[in-house]
Structure 1
Amino acid sequence: MEFTIRNAQPADAELLHQLGRMTYSAHFKHMWVSEAEMDEFIDKEYGLAELNSSLVAPNERWLIAETDKPIGFAKVTWNTPVPDSGMTGALLNKLYLNPQETGKNYGRRMFESIIHEAREKQEGYLWLEVMGANARARKFYEAFGMQHIKDIPFITASQQSIVQILGMVI
């Protein structure tokens, strides 16, 4: 099956809204104590107003992964400070696939394309945040050479989690 990665356009806001809700919930629902808080988080991250603004921001890039249908997406913010480090680089905000499409090397191909574009833009560094409880994602990124930089808290009204910042020179 053919796999493609394309740049998202403003007309893709509704698609990203739907993909965001579906993939985030499928991958992370079990990590949330409060479903209402998770829904609020998803609405903030994937609300149409936020997406419409982000899709036209000059320092942000959204990608859509497709086979015969859209199966995932990624978001990168260029030239972003790494917290408490004095460094800047490309921030991989999101890289999510439909759960039925994981394990097919699509995530690897998306990540490699992001690394390639970040190198072309001479970012010099690539970093991301991953939930501490998400061992599978951390293992995925570490296989590319990403290293743990620091832990930061993620706090909601009903829970506190650890987010790990990983990064690598590119």
Structure 2
Amino acid sequence: MLTIRKAEIADAALLSEMGYASYRHHFAPLWREPAELEDFLTQEYSVPALQQSLQSTTGNWFIAEDVAPVGFAKVTWHRAVDEQGPAGTLLHKLYLLPGETRKGYGEQLLAEVERLAQLRGERFIWLEVLDANPNAQRFYLRQGFTHLKDTQFSTASQQSTLHILGKPLSL
């Protein structure tokens, strides 16, 4: 049975391990420059970066476990898509470890994030998904998200299209 809990500072090493493993597994082939990938991973998943992020008052990390950890999510509460809005919960990350996809964990983790957002009075949830990640796009569309607009993610050597998807939440 899946349990989902809010991550604490003591979970930084676990999140780091899961972050490096899941990101490399799912996205390493999309990076042209290995050094840029390593810089990104350090920025996102090093223990010091996670310790700082876990102390944020504007967002939270969550760990999903089924006997052992299977994945995690990161959110920022009440963040606007852009200057025109809408504002709602930004789902930064919803990653599952290698071998843990297609088991219903993603749906359960997303449902819990949506439930917690609704408890906070949020009426909207949104995220960015890589154009080069059609499986994630299909997953979120099946969960009721719709395409809002596109934006770009750039590094020194490459540029990627991100689709911004959103979904109204009922209170």
Q: 1:84 to 1:136 in 2, by over 3 A?
A: farther
In 2, distance between residues paired with 1:67 and 1:134? 25
Equivalent-residue separation in structure 2 for 1:159 and 1:84 (angstroms): 26
Pairwise CA RMSD? 1.0
Instruction: Measure the CA separation in 2 of the matches of 1:103 and 1:17.
Output: 23
For the residues of structure 1 that align with 2:91 and 2:133, how far apart are their CA atoms?
16
Q: What residue identity is the alignment partner of 1:134?
A: N
Distance 1:157 1:34 in 2: 9
1:158 correspondence with 2:125? no
For normalisation by structure 2, the TM-score amounts to 0.95
1:140 paired with 2:120, answer: no
CA distance in 2, matches of 1:86, 1:4: 33
Which residue of structure 2 lines up, in the alignment, with residue 99 of structure 1?
98
Q: What code does the residue aligned with 1:157 have?
A: A
Question: 2:123 — aligned with what?
Answer: 124
Map 1:3-14 → 2, pairs under 5 A: 3-14=2-13
2:74 and 2:93 in contact (8 A); partners too: yes
Correspondence for 2:44: 45
Distance 2:12 2:137 in 1: 28
Query: Could you give the per-residue CA deviations for residues 2-34 of structure 1, whole angstroms, max 9, x where no partner exists?
Result: 321111111000111111011000000111111
TM-superposed CA distance for 1:60, in Å, is 1.0
**CA deviation after TM superposition for structure 1 residue 107, in Å:** 0.6
Number of the residue aligned with 2:15: 16
- Residue 59 of structure 1 and its aligned partner are, at CA, apart by 1.6
SS at match of 1:24: helix
Q: What count of residue pairs does the alignment treat as equivalent?
A: 169
The amino acid across from 1:125 in the alignment is: F
C-alpha separation in 1, matches of 2:152 and 2:54: 28
CA distance in 1, matches of 2:47, 2:13: 7
- Unaligned 5+ residue runs, structure 1? none
Percent identity over paired residues? 44
Aligned to 2:86: 87
Residue 85 of structure 1: how far off its partner (Å) = 3.0
Unpaired runs of at least 5, structure 2: none
Which portions of structure 1, spanning 4 or more consecutive aligned residues, are displaced by more than 3 angstroms? none
TM-score by length of 1: 0.96
Write out per-residue CA displacement over residues 41-63 of structure 1, whole angstroms, 9 at most, x where no aligned residue: 11101122221111121221111
The answer on whether the counterparts of 2:21 and 2:98 sit within 8 Å (CA) in structure 1 is no
Provide the C-alpha distance between the structure 2 equivalents of 1:134 and 1:156, rounded to a whole number of angstroms.
18
What's the CA shift for 1:83?
A: 2.1
Q: Secondary structure of 2:41's partner? A: helix
Instruction: Determine if the alignment matches structure 1 residue 63 to structure 2 residue 62.
Output: yes
